[in-house]
Structures are given as structure tokens and as C-alpha cells.
Amino acid sequence: MNVTEVLEMNRDLFLTAMLIALPALAMSLIVGLLVSVFQTVTSIQDQTLSYVPRIILVGLTIIFTMAFTLEQAVEFTRRMFGHAVGASQ
């Protein structure tokens, strides 16, 4: 295994991690922005108001994207096992 293959594996790792985390992070960002706008408009400065909707919607997003996430993780694992088999020969 040479340096190019290791760098390609690292690149694949980071892209897969970003792809898996993207739905939950995007939902957290969107909900946080909407709650902040709501708090600004209504002058409500309760700290729990920003956490509760975010936790609920991020949890639902994780549940709804579980099949996609699992598929990406399994494909990544298969690619890494393929690299391991190729490197041992």
C-alpha cells in the first residue's frame, strides 16, 4: 500500500463521515436559525426554547435517514475491506 492509496482511503473516510452527518447537522442549523428568528421577533429569550425543538427534529431526522446512513456505512466498510484484501496480496 502506497501513500496515494492511504490518502485516497482518508479522503473516502472524511467524505463518508460528512455525508452521514450532513442531514442531522443541516436540520440542527435550520431549526436553530428558525428558533433564533422566532426569539428575536417575539423577544422571548428562554434558553430551553432553542434546545427542545432542535433535539426532537434532529432525532426524527436521524430516524428517517437511518436507512441511508446504514447503507453508506456498509458500503464504506466494504470498500475498506476491499483495500485491506488488496493490500495483503
Domain boundaries, the chain: 8-84
- pLDDT tens, 27-49? 999 999 999 899 889 888 887 78
Question: Residue 25: is its pLDDT beyond 70?
Answer: yes
Task: Please check the confidence at residue 12 and state whether its pLDDT lies above 80.
Answer: yes
Within 10 angstroms of residue 24's Cβ, the number of other Cβ atoms is 17
By C-alpha distance, which of 65, 72, 71 is closest to 17? 72
CA 37 to chain centre: 24
Q: What is the dihedral of CA 57, 60, 61, 64, to 10 degrees?
A: -160
Q: Is-contact 50 39, C-beta < 8 A?
A: yes
